[in-house]
Structure 1
Amino acid sequence: MTEKRNYQAKDGLSMANVTNVAHAKSPSTRARIQAFGGFLTNMVLPNIGAFIAWGILTALFIPTGWIPNENLAKIVSPAITYLLPLLLAITGGRMVAGQRGAVMGAIGAIGLIVGSEIPMFLGAMIIGPLGGWVIKKFDKMLENKVPAGFEMIVNNFSIGILGFFLMVFSFYFIGPVIESANNFVTSAIRALVDTGFLPLLSLINEPAKVLFLNNVIDQGIYYPLGMQETLNAGKSIYFMVASNPGPGLGLLLAYTLFGNKIARRTAPGAIIIHFFGGIHELYFPYVLMKPVTILAMIAGGMSGITIFRLFDVGLVAGPSPGSIFAYLALTPKGNFIGIILGVAVATAVSFIVTSIILKLSKQPDNEEEFTASVEKAQTMKAEGKQVMQASIHPLHSDKLAKVSFACDAGAGSSALGATTFRKRLQKKAIEGIEVKHFRIEDVPKDTDVIVVHKDLSDRARLAHPDKRVITIENYLDDPNLAQLLNEIEKR
């Protein structure tokens, strides 16, 4: 009987990896939410430049902008309606299933965009990954079942047919459902605004941020609502209810003056990175070291929102990262006094409350306590990353776990070569080797071996200088392919 071999994860799996896998299999609820927030961030972050470009366009050229221009203002509505949601959907689809997922995400997104009356940011962040998931499951179902030479027609028609159904489904169902949910959330938050209770959101925002759930709040809720309001009003307070750098600055200033020796030594550097660099995670360990200081963060956040409301100010786009420079760059005409004052008051309130807490609970210097809080913050953030990475990228520790066939378009000769090579592995009863086909520039970073035609070898090495490239002349039967197969057999 032929012996089966499995190369997926053999002798390279360390105890640390085993621990990580165990955590990924049974993550906490917080880690799952963190992973969701990380997924949203990875979907939004590559497109932040486009959002900022739209914000600058809005700040400059709408009727209430710095330099009103009727012609250029015509770009504002189409960009927020079509461009930005499509970018989100394409990125989300690509994260799940590469280029095929990106195409499916775009097809599904256009259906929900046309089928709704509001900018479909939330819908795009759902339909993009959903489209990627659908085509990924379909490709997995047909893996090793497509006859050699029919890969391109199956690949193209599968996206065409599945994309058609997804587009119609999103038009009639997903778009209206997301629009209804969006209207409900918007009405609830506007009720808080109308009744003057918007500052109460800090009771949720500040603890969630310290638990590294800030991305879920910003990218998942406030930024989409902010973009929608900006289309109508030219600005939105929603961009500032969770991203205000003032509370964190006040906390770090208090630790600089009244903290123990360890905190006084590290807080000044954290201030620069937090306030000017916009990396708010720098102050999280200080809150975790003395959890009661979360009261100072809540008080600072609430006072900042109150000032923003009193002066009726807002930003034109989401400040990412949450730096004071980003705040000022995205402030529309006539809003600078309210924005600066809101940040300053939040800083002052947070500073006063934190100072009182530190003075009342003065403790001797304890470097271990601060180090432990830093490690705790890092562990909390890492848990979410592990869950997200485990769901997208399976663990491969063997150096020949992934073979990528590549060609000019990634759909013709490379598909034929990948199908043929997979069948040769099956005949040898070799399992655990992932064999897929890609456009040369789209070959994943975790690929171990790239197989290309000899005429494309220079292009492959230019695009992937750190990867092993095998050149062939015949995708069906080539000596170098036989040698690669023999190498895999011997491992």
Structure 2
Amino acid sequence: MTTTSAEAGTENRPRGGIRVGVQRFGTFLSGMIMPNIAAFIAWGLLTALFIPDGWLGNDSPVEAWRWADSAILGGGEASDGTEWTGLVGPIINYLLPLLIAFTGGNLVYGHRGGVVGALAAFGVIIGAEGTVMFLGAMIAGPLAAYVLKQIERLWDGKVKAGFEMLVNNFSAGFVGFFAALAAFFWLAPVMQWLTQVLGSAVGWLVDNRLIPLASIIVEPAKVVFLNNAINHGVFTPIGAEQSAQTGRSLLFLVEANPGPGAGLLLAITIFGVGAARATAPGALVIQFIGGIHEVYFPYVLAKPVLIVGLIAGGASGVMTNVIFQSGLVAAASPGSILAVLIQTATGSHLGVILSVVISAAVTFAVSAVFLLASRKRDLAADANGEGGLSEAIARTEANKGRSSAALSGLAGASTGTTVAPPRTIERVVFACDAGMGSSAMGASVLRNKFKAAGVEGVNVTNKAIAALDGSADVVITQQQLTPRAREREQSAVHVSVDNFMGSPRYDEVVQMVLAQRAEQAADAPDAAPAEPAGPAGSAPATRAEARAAASGSGVLEARNVRIHAGSASREEALREAADLLEGAGAVTGAYYDAMVAREQTVSTYMGNELAIPHGTNDAKDAVLASALTVVRYDGGIDWDGDRVTFVVGIAGKGDEHLSLLSNVALLFSDEDQVARLKAAETPEELYTLLQTVNEG
């Protein structure tokens, strides 16, 4: 758990600009590649075994293996004249690009978008015969799905009941027909030319031994999560083309090499100080064996000069593969040493292993120099509580755009258990960007936990971060917002959470309060019991809840509860929530933009398959009245990496919505009740379940 220090954290500003654009583009590309990595691994194993230079290739002394190699690699003809097609070529030429295109189309417009995207991709694959069309698939798939999405918006809500399936199938069929033709005649020649140009450029860099210079871009880009656009947009497609032709490509190791990260963490383990040194060994295991490279990013953000060591190590590893002409047969993901070894091409093991070892050694040596040179300053800073690792972890998650289990574990290990402040804990504030939605729900859950534990005299409230006034004893925020909260409340204990509905951090806060009370009782056994501060301290919240209870029946109306059998994108869910709120007369049309801006700042995912999208604090003028909307998407929503089933839209005028929102929070903190909500067969039944909680 993250605790506070006297120093203010670096402000976590809203993300925006070119970096965010590149990051989102790279995330989208990664979203097409990563779900299909298993197919890449399977193809890599087939290639490693059965290409002519493979382990079971044409030179195998076993006749049966030579026959199997010929069959699997390129097909052949049976004794009865029947011809068959091999596996290696068709998988790389057809299956993998089609999987990528379907995944990209599905990201844009669900399953039908994936189908149309695959049709378009097949057009570019056949039209560019002889070229591995990864790039073509990554363009044709999402583009065709986007066209279908825009066309179907023309008659959205205008199709008569009973004709939806007919219209949907024919619209997708016609779009797929024209998309396949357009890709075949127009896109394929362009993509074939582009692939040849990129391949020639990369080949020229390799031939002239300049490809190691790519590390100057790749290593810093990794730390701020901008590498996906380079890796999955260029290296993976061109590497696959090279692998299909030569059986290997060093491009797969430019970004995925675990050596530089391992060298950095080893140097910190030996020469680092404080929390960084204590956590580095565990991070080393996660990074090198588990392949989760992001665990070393906070160490670089805390001490940016270490990026020099990463660049030097990365370039050394690439140069080693250039010298030995070694590489992998397919992408290694995650970047674990195990994945790297499995995907190593036959005859490349010496070069690949040396590239990992040398890159780690170079990074270690360069990083050690910087660590030793600043060791005295680092020790002094650590003694003053200025190590900065916790803030760096928060900045790393902000760069990523969402919380990370690996980084959360690192944060917990770096700070140990929560340290209670010297004064009695009486005021706990749950703070978020707007102080309206997520903070209110989190406060409700924590308030209920205090009640269940028999803790009195603790006032749990919710505020916007900008409204923090220095009076809180404990401040609880989402991980990305913790540095901003520290600037406002420098003397409080700061607790970072990533699951608002069921975070174990809440139980730790309760235990912290109980332990403090027990310690105080032991120190003063003869003292009169302290006057409970509960009723007086919590009166404002109680009055707010009473007002909300009085008007809660109008905040969530039956017409604003919906159930969808399929899935949707996050943007579509935001639009539906905003439209429902606007239809209820609660907001103006400007509220949707404020909801999108909120998601760009910090995700409104709450845990337990719940998201509560709402506007930023600057959108108060767009709120006309309080209202809640509930939409259940049985097909699920990819909410920036988290699965969401329930989307609760919020518009709050004053504090009228807080009581119902509090009960929604308590409802979704109970997994059994969430299961009942998911089992509701009609919107009316779902509304009844929500109303029952409200009345309780």
How far the C-alpha of 1:91 sits from its partner, in A, is 0.8
> Is the contact between residue 135 and residue 159 of structure 1 (CA under 8 Å) also seen in structure 2?
yes
Higher RCO, Cα 8 Å, sep 6+: 1
* Per-residue deviation, residues 400-425 of structure 1 (Å, max 9, x unmatched): 5542157xxx9xxxxxxxxxxx9xx9
Match of 1:337 in 2: 350
Q: Is the 8 A contact 1:40 1:220 kept in 2?
A: yes
Q: Does 1:403 align with 2:530?
A: no
Deviation string, structure 1 residues 373-417 (Cα, Å, up to 9, x no partner) = 2221111111799xxxxxxxxx999895542157xxx9xxxxxxx
Report which of the two structures shows the higher radius of gyration computed on alpha carbons: 2
Is it true that 1:32 corresponds to 2:21 in the alignment?
A: yes
Query: Is this contact kept in 1: 2:112–2:172, CA < 8 A?
Result: yes
Q: 2:493 corresponds to which residue?
A: none
**Does residue 126 of structure 1 match 2:139?**
yes
Cα displacement (A) at 1:332: 2.2
Aligned pair partner of 2:53 in 53, 64, 68: 64
Contact 1:247 1:346 in 2 (8 A): yes
1:283-432 counterparts in 2 under 5 A?
A: 283-362=296-375, 363=377, 364=379, 365-366=381-382, 367-368=385-386, 369-382=388-401, 402-405=562-565
1:164 alignment counterpart:
177
Whether the aligned pair in 2 keeps the contact of 1:50 and 1:84 (CA below 8 Å) is yes
Cα deviation, residue 136, structure 1:
1.8
1:72 partner amino acid: I
Mapped pair 1:79 → 2:91: yes
Report the secondary structure of 2:157's partner residue: coil
Which stretch shows the higher mean deviation, 52-61 or 188-197? 188-197
Q: 1:181 aligns with which of 180, 184, 194?
A: 194
> How many corresponding residue pairs?
418
C-alpha distance in structure 2 between counterparts of 1:113 and 1:402, whole Å:
41
Give aligned-pair identity as a percent: 44
Out of 111, 119, 124, the residue aligned to residue 107 of structure 1 is: 119
- Structure 1 distance, partners of 2:143, 2:690, is 35
What amino acid sits opposite 1:468 in the alignment?
Answer: K
**8 Å contact kept, 1:116–1:176:** yes
Distance in 1 (CA, whole Å) between partners of 2:630 and 2:138 is: 28
SS in structure 2 of the partner of residue 269 of structure 1: helix
Q: Which residue of 2 aligns with 1:8?
A: none
Q: Distance in 1 between matches of 2:403 and 2:233?
A: 16
Match of 1:143 among 156, 163, 183: 156
Match of 2:211 in 1: 198
TM-score, length-scaled by structure 1: 0.77
- 1:149 positional shift: 2.2
Match of 1:52 in 2: 41
> Pick from 133, 153, 169: which aligns with 2:166?
153
Whether the 8 Å contact between 1:33 and 1:384 is mirrored in structure 2 is no
Q: Secondary structure at the match of 1:63?
A: coil
Aligned amino acid, residue 145 of structure 1: K
Q: Measure the CA separation in 2 of the matches of 1:89 and 1:76.
A: 19
Which residue of structure 2 aligns with residue 457 of structure 1?
none
Give me the whole-angstrom Cα distance separating, in 2, the residues matched to 1:210 and 1:353.
18
- RMSD of the alignment, in Å? 3.3
Instruction: Answer 1 or 2: which has greater helix percent.
Output: 1
What is the CA-CA distance between 1:358 and the residue it aligns to? 1.1
- Aligned partner of residue 197 in structure 2, secondary structure: helix
Structure 1 residue 139: deviation in Å? 2.5
Task: Report how far residue 326 of structure 1 moved.
Answer: 0.7
Return the alpha-carbon distance in structure 1 between the equivalents of residues 401 and 108 of structure 2.
Answer: 20
> How far has the Cα of 1:186 moved from its partner?
1.3
Amino acid at match of 2:45: I
How many angstroms does 1:66 deviate by?
A: 0.5
Gaps of 5+ in 1: 1-19, 386-394, 411-421, 450-463, 472-479
Do 1:237 and 1:313's aligned partners in 2 also have CA atoms closer than 8 Å?
A: yes
TM-score by length of 2: 0.56
Q: Is the 8 A contact 1:31 1:384 kept in 2?
A: no
- The structure-2 alpha-carbon separation of the partners of 1:276 and 1:132, relative to structure 1 and needing over 3 Å to count, comes to same
Aligned to 1:468: 678
Cα gap change, 1:292 to 1:484, in 2 (>3 Å): closer
How far residue 334 of structure 1 moved from its aligned partner, in angstroms, is 1.7
**Distance in structure 2 (CA, Å) of the matches to 1:327 and 1:214:** 18
Runs of 5+ in structure 2 lacking a partner? 1-11, 58-68, 74-85, 405-436, 442-555, 568-575, 586-627, 638-642, 648-673
Which amino acid is 1:43 matched to?
Answer: M
Secondary structure in 2 matching 1:71:
helix
**What is the CA deviation profile of residues 258-306 of structure 1, one whole-angstrom value per residue up to 9, with x for unaligned ones?**
1112221111111000111111111111111111111111110111111
Separation in structure 1 between the aligned mates of residue 676 and residue 236 of structure 2, nearest angstrom: 38
Question: SS at 1:119's partner residue?
Answer: coil
Distance (whole Å) between structure 1 residues aligned to residue 116 and residue 138 of structure 2: 13
Give SS of 1:148's match. coil
Question: 3-state DSSP class of the match of 2:563?
Answer: strand
